[in-house]
Amino acid sequence: LDARTAYAKAHTYYSHKQYNQAIKSFRHFVRTHGGDQRAAKAHYMLGRAHQSAGHYTKAEQVFRTVHERYGSPAALYRIASLSVRRNREDKAISAYANFAKRYPQHDLADDALWQAAKAAERKSQFARAATLYGRLAEHYPQTDYGDEARWSVGFAFYCQEQYSEALAVFERASQQARQPHIIDQSLYWAGKSAERLGQTQDATAFYRRAAAGFPRSYYSARAVLLGHKEQVQLKKRPTDNPRQDDVPALAHRAHLERAGLLNQLGLRDWSVAEMEQAVRDYKGHKTALKAIRDYYEALGYRDQAMRLSLRLFDGQDPEELSRIYPTYYWEEIAEAAAEAQIDPYLVLSVIRQESTFNEKAVSRAGARGLMQIMPHTGLNLARRLEVKPFELRALFDPAVSIRLGSYFLGDQMRQFTTDAGADLGFELGLAAYNAGPHNARRWLKTFPSEDPDAFVERIPFKETRLYVKLVLRNYAIYKALSDDA
């Protein structure tokens, strides 16, 4: 094969996750076409293929060769990332920091400092983490990491029980941050630091300022849940059950009428296609789109209604907030939550985060339905709850998904509301739901658990850390929208 075809063949194997074939093909390319302009890229991709196949030692050897032979910064960055994969945090810290020092202008320099600081934080090397976060904030202030890095310096001080230093950093970060959620986060942690210093009045003032941002961020919601904002009740929509004849007349109803007829015939996909065309026809017409959103709900297409509500929400209309935090499937949720002995608004919050109310949702990992239950988990839960007969396709049934998911969530929360995790029932239960009970138990053993806020911030998986925060923010908003607010 000529060089171009040989490279394309190897890359095709890699793209289709045929890693062993990709390794053979890239290795052959490097040996056969060493003088080709694609040789450096092929050698680098050989390392990527080894890494994807789980051959971490071999991958590191290849990346070292690539860096030495071609001077590839990307190869050096990969060496650092492999150290994280192999739980060699000290080595990762040094490798990432070295990358940022050698290639300060590289697009990944700020990311390398962030990864180095996070690795130091995971190892409880907070002084080292503070230094790395400080370098990041100083040298890359305008990047996406700038605000977070400034806050993280304060968090490192807080974890070392240096509360005066932490308070000063958090207060300064609240004034310098560009992102609203970092402002709320900084104010909240300034409150925690002041509280640790016995400055009760200052702490309350900081918490109230954080709560004033509600419902825009996790920490504004956290401050509200802790009682730092009086009489929080958001505007609710008049009804959650629009009828088809409630939808205001539109100038061109043909697509909506066809959608209704197709829905009656059970042809959902065609019906949704007609609705989507109506959305395109009325692009930019907010009143018309709201009417179409109501018709989505009338036809039972809740996930489509939710998607359109998110598109329409601009933060200016308080009544629209309840449309992006709907109470779909409330009867099923209330019944399942009662059986599982958990708050129905927590179940609602999980569904919103897991599937945005798409009962047919399937994740890349294979999780299914409203509450994104993995098939093997679904089988075990169905057996425990004596759901008979049970087939995997039942996970797409809203009532089944809600019942099994609620039971699993409640079970996780109860398991962790004991002993060391007594104050972390919500947080650990949600972490277990997202990342698995084994990971949640490992984190409980690894990190101090007396401070729920600090524990959440130290969850190593970014996806899980964000998941816990988003579900708890959903929960605070749902509670504020509820009749119990």
Residues with active-site annotation: 354
Identify the sign of the CA torsion 185, 190, 195, 197: positive
Q: Among 174, 173, 184, which Cα is nearest to 208's?
A: 184
How many whole angstroms separate alpha carbon 286 and alpha carbon 317? 12
How many whole angstroms separate alpha carbon 413 and alpha carbon 424? 9
Which contacts (CB < 8 Å, 24+ apart) does range 358-361 have? 358/303, 359/302, 359/303, 359/396, 359/397, 359/398, 359/401, 360/396, 361/303
- Cβ contact 263:299 at 8 Å: yes
Angle formed by the axes of helices 180-196 and 163-176, nearest 10°: 160
Fill in the amino acid letter for 271.
Answer: S
Could you check whether the bond before residue 389 is cis, i.e. omega within 30 degrees of 0? yes
- Cβ contact 336:347 at 8 Å: yes
Angle of CA points 44, 47, 49, to nearest 5°: 110
Residue 311 burial (CB count, 10 A): 12
**3-state secondary structure at position 142:** coil
Q: Going by C-beta distance under 8 Å and a sequence separation of 6 or more, which residues neighbour residue 202? A: 191, 194
Dihedral, 437, 438, 441, 445 alpha carbons, nearest 10: -170
Beta bridge partners of 362: 368
Burial class, 403, CB count within 10 angstroms (exposed 0-12 / middle 13-18 / buried 19+): buried
Q: Which two tokens stand for residue 328?
A: 């779909």
Residue 242 burial (CB count, 10 A): 18
Give, as one character, the DSSP assignment of residue 325.
S
How many whole angstroms separate alpha carbon 81 and alpha carbon 84? 5
Residue 458 burial (CB count, 10 A): 19
How many whole angstroms separate alpha carbon 12 and alpha carbon 36? 19
Identify the sign of the CA torsion 403, 412, 226, 356: negative
